[in-house]
Amino acid sequence: MTQANDDIWRKRFQLFMLVRLLGVATFLLGIAIAYTGLVRPGGWPVAGSLIAVLGAIDAVFAPRLLRKHWQQRDE
Quick one: CA dihedral 49, 52, 54, 56, positive or negative? negative
**Are the beta carbons of 47 and 32 closer than 8 angstroms?**
no
Q: Is the pLDDT of residue 1 over 70?
A: no
Domain ranges of the chain: 16-74
Q: Is the pLDDT of residue 15 over 90?
A: yes
pLDDT for 75: 87
pTM confidence score: 0.88
- The pLDDT tens digits for 21-66 are 999 999 999 999 999 999 999 999 999 999 999 999 999 999 999 9
pLDDT for 57: 96
| Contacts of residue 40, Cβ cutoff 8 Å, sequence gap at least 6 | none
pLDDT for 3: 86
Give the CA count within 13 Å in the CB-facing half-sphere of 39: 14
